[in-house]
Amino acid sequence: MSHNNVEAFFEDVITVKWGPDKKSVDIIDQTLLPGTIKRIQLSTKEEIWEAIKKLRVRGAPAIGVSAAYGLAVLADGIEADSFDPFFAKFKEYKDYLASSRPTAVNLFWALNRMEDCAKKNSGSDIRTLKDTLYQEAQAIRDEDVQISRGIGEIGFKLLENLKKDGKPVGILTHCNAGTLATAKYGTATAPMYIALEHGWKGDDMHVFCDETRPLLQGARLTSFELYKAGITTTVQCDNMASILMKSGKIDIIFTGTDRVARNGDAANKIGTSGLAILARHYGIPMYICAPSSTVDMSTLTGDDIPIEERDPTEVSAMWYSSPMVYEGVDIYNPAFDVTDHTLLSGIITEKGLCTAPFDKAFESQGMK
Ligand code: MRU
C-alpha cells in the first residue's frame, strides 16, 4: 500500500537496527525485496560478513552502520579481563569485516571510528568499554540520519528551483541510494523525501529509476521504497535513459556514491558514468549526493578507487530460469564505475553544495 505519511513509511522500512538485547544486528534482507519483506538477525562474524558481501545489506552508509553495529555486537562477546587481549580479538573482527567489500569507503570509515573509540577508552574497565562501543555504533547511525537530512535540504532547494506550474519535476536516479541504503532518508532520495516533509505531494515529482543491471537495485529497491512513500515512480531499463533524457522528461539527476576522490571523481554503481556522459550531451544537471564521510581525501583521483568485481553468474544466470550466456563465454562484472568530476554539476554533502574545483570545496567544508 502506498501512502503519503513519510514518518509512517520510515517506520515500515528500517534498514538496520539492533536485534533483541543488542545481541545481534537486525536487517531487512534486501536480496528478497520487493517480493518478500523479511528481517534477519546477524550475530556471528560470518553472518555479518556474508550479509554485506551478498548485499543483504548494501549501500555505502548502511554498510558502514551495519559494520559498526556488528563490531559492537562481536566486541560484547569477547571474553577478556584487560584491554590488550580484548583489543587483539577486536582488531581481528574489525579486519575480517573490512574484507567484505572493497569500494564503499564508509565501511572502513565506520570500522576505523570504532577502533579509534576502543583505543581512546583503553583505560576503561572492559564492561564500560563494551558499552562505549555500543554507544559509538549508535552515534554513527544517528549521525547518518541527520547527515541525510542535511543533504536532502540542499537537494530540495534545487528541486524547488525546477518546479514549474502543474508539471512534475522529472528526476532520474540509478541504483539505490535511498532509505534502504542508509539509516533513514537516503542520499540521492533525500531531496525527494524532504520535499514530502515540506508539503510537496507525491505527484509533484516523477522519479525515473534505472533498473540497474545486474543486481536490479533500482527496480527492486528504489522504485519499491519511493512507491511505498507515495512518490510517482517509473522503472526503465538502463539502456532507456538516453531516450528519456532526449524526450525532455528529465530535469535533474541525483545519484549516490560509494567513494569520492579528492578531485571529485566519484565511484558509484556500474552505469553511473554513462548516465553522466548522456546528461552532459543533453544538458541535464547531474548531482552526486554523499555524506562527507564518503569523501576520501586520501584517494587523489578516481583511478585510485578499488573497483569490486563480482560473480559472473550475476550477469548470466541470476534472474533467469536458465543461463542467458553460453557456457564458457567470458563475463565482465565490475560492480562500480567512476564518474569523471568534470561531468558533475555538483556534489551535495550535508555541509553544502560543492562545485569545481572540488578539492578546494571539500577543504572549505573542513575535509582534510
Ligand atoms: O552494490 P551496492 O548496491 O551496495 O551499490 C550501492 C550504490 O552504488 C549506491 O549508490 C551508493 O552506495 C550510495 S548509497 C547512499
Over residues 3-62, the pLDDT tens digits come to 457 788 888 889 999 999 999 999 999 999 999 999 999 999 999 999 999 999 999 999
Q: Please check whether residue 128 is in contact with residue 121, taking contact to mean a CB–CB distance below 8 angstroms.
A: yes
- Going from N- to C-terminal start, the domains of the chain cover 3-143, 152-364
Which atom of ligand 1 sits closest to the CA of residue 186? Answer: 15
Cell 522500512: give the residue.
13
59 lines ligand 1 (CB under 6 A): yes
Closest Cα to atom 8 of ligand 1: 269
C-alpha distance from residue 358 to each of 155, 209, 363 (Å): 17, 27, 8
Give the per-residue pLDDT at 68.
98
Give the per-residue pLDDT at 165.
80
C-alpha cell at 251: 530535469
Q: Please state the φ and ψ torsions of residue 362, each to the nearest 5 degrees.
A: -65, -40
How far apart are the CA of 87 and the centre of ligand 1, in A?
31
Predicted TM-score (pTM) of the model is: 0.96
How far apart are the CA of 237 and the centre of ligand 1, in A?
18
What is the CATH code for 3-143? 1.20.120.420
How far apart are the CA of 102 and the centre of ligand 1, in A?
12
Instruction: Give me the mean pLDDT over the 148-156 stretch.
Output: 98
Residue 337 has pLDDT above 80, yes or no: yes
Q: Please check whether residue 248 is in contact with residue 167, taking contact to mean a CB–CB distance below 8 angstroms.
A: no
What is the Cα Rg of the chain in Å?
A: 20
58 lines ligand 1 (CB under 6 A): yes
Whether the bond between 357 and the residue before it is cis, its omega within 30 degrees of 0, is yes
Residue 220 CB-half CA count within 13 A: 21
Cell 555479518: give the residue.
48
C-alpha cell at 231: 512518490
pLDDT tens for 239-270 read 999 999 999 999 999 999 999 999 999 999 99
Instruction: Give me the mean pLDDT over the 116-130 stretch.
Output: 98
Instruction: Give me the mean pLDDT over the 167-181 stretch.
Output: 98
Give the per-residue pLDDT at 4.
53
CA angle 227, 107, 191 (to 5 degrees): 30
276 lines ligand 1 (CB under 6 A): no
Residue 189 has pLDDT above 60, yes or no: yes
Interatomic CA distance for residues 90 and 166, integer angstroms: 56
Give the per-residue pLDDT at 3.
47
Q: Please check whether residue 67 is in contact with residue 16, taking contact to mean a CB–CB distance below 8 angstroms.
A: no
Q: Positive or negative CA dihedral for 346, 217, 305, 97? A: positive
257 lines ligand 1 (CB under 6 A): yes
Among 105, 184, 210, 217, the mutation site with the greatest number of ligand 1 atoms within 8 A of its Cβ is 217
Interatomic CA distance for residues 49 and 98, integer angstroms: 9
C-alpha distance from residue 60 to each of 77, 158, 320, 349 (Å): 26, 24, 28, 14
Sort strands 266-269 and 336-339 into parallel, antiparallel or unpaired.
antiparallel
Interatomic CA distance for residues 253 and 251, integer angstroms: 7
Interatomic CA distance for residues 3 and 15, integer angstroms: 19
Extended beta strands in 134-270, E state: 169-173, 205-210, 232-236, 252-255, 259-261, 266-269
C-alpha distance from residue 34 to each of 217, 292, 296 (Å): 10, 30, 32
How far apart are the CA of 18 and the centre of ligand 1, in A?
22
CATH 3.40.50.10470 fits 152-364, yes or no: yes
Q: Positive or negative CA dihedral for 60, 66, 70, 71? A: positive
Residue 316 has pLDDT above 80, yes or no: yes
269 lines ligand 1 (CB under 6 A): yes
Which positions ≥6 away from 352 have C-beta within 8 Å? 154, 365
Cell 564508509: give the residue.
106
Instruction: Give me the mean pLDDT over the 324-338 stretch.
Output: 98
Which residues participate in catalysis according to the annotation?
258
177 lines ligand 1 (CB under 6 A): yes
Instruction: Give me the mean pLDDT over the 297-317 stretch.
Output: 98
61 lines ligand 1 (CB under 6 A): yes
Among 31, 58, 151, the mutation site with the greatest number of ligand 1 atoms within 8 A of its Cβ is 58
Interatomic CA distance for residues 364 and 208, integer angstroms: 33
How far apart are the CA of 338 and the centre of ligand 1, in A?
13
Amino acid occupying residue 361: A
Give the per-residue pLDDT at 2.
43
Residue closest to 48 by CA, chosen among 83, 32, 72: 72
Burial code (b: 16+ CB inside 10 Å, e: under 16) for 329-339 equals eeeebebbbbb
Instruction: Give me the mean pLDDT over the 302-324 stretch.
Output: 97
User: How far, in whole angstroms, is CA 156 from its chain's centroid?
Assistant: 19
Extended beta strands in 9-110, E state: 16-18, 25-28, 39-42
294 lines ligand 1 (CB under 6 A): no
Q: Please check whether residue 96 is in contact with residue 50, taking contact to mean a CB–CB distance below 8 angstroms.
A: no
Among 52, 107, 225, 257, the mutation site with the greatest number of ligand 1 atoms within 8 A of its Cβ is 257
Task: Kindly report the average pLDDT of the chain as a whole number.
Answer: 96
